[in-house]
Structure 1
Amino acid sequence: MIELKSAEEIDRMAATGQFVGELLAELREVAAVGVNLMDLEHHARRRIRERGAESCYWDYSPSFGRGPFRNVLCLSVNDAVLHGLPHPYVLRDGDLLSIDMALGIDGWVADSALSVVVGTPAPDDLKLIEATEVALEAGIDAARVGSQLGDVSAAIGEVARRYGYQVNNEFGGHGIGRTMHEAPHVPNSGRPGRGMRLRPGLTIAIEPWLCRGTDKIRFDGDGWTIRSADGSRAAHSEHTVAITEAGPRVLTRRPGHDTRPGNRSGQSAASA
Structure 2
Amino acid sequence: MAIPNYLPDGSGEICGAAFVGSGVVKFNPDTATYIGAGTGDIINTMITASIAVGMILLIGEKFGSVAIVATPIVVGIGAGLIGYYLYPYITKITAAIGDLINTFTTLQPILMSILIACSFAFLIISPISTVAIGMAIQLNGVSAGAAAMGVAATTVVLVVNSWKVNKPGVTLAIALGAMKMMMPNLFRKPIILVPCLFTAIISAIPVALFSVSGTPASAGFGLVGLVGPLASLDAGLSMILLLISWFVVPIVAAFVGQILFEKILKLYDRKDVFEFLG
Superposition TM-score, scaled by structure 1 size: 0.25
| Structure with the higher helix share, 1 or 2 | 2
| Structure with the higher strand share, 1 or 2 | 1
| Structure with larger RCO (C-alpha < 8 A, sep 6+) | 1
Superposition TM-score, scaled by structure 2 size: 0.25
Q: Which has the larger radius of gyration?
A: 2
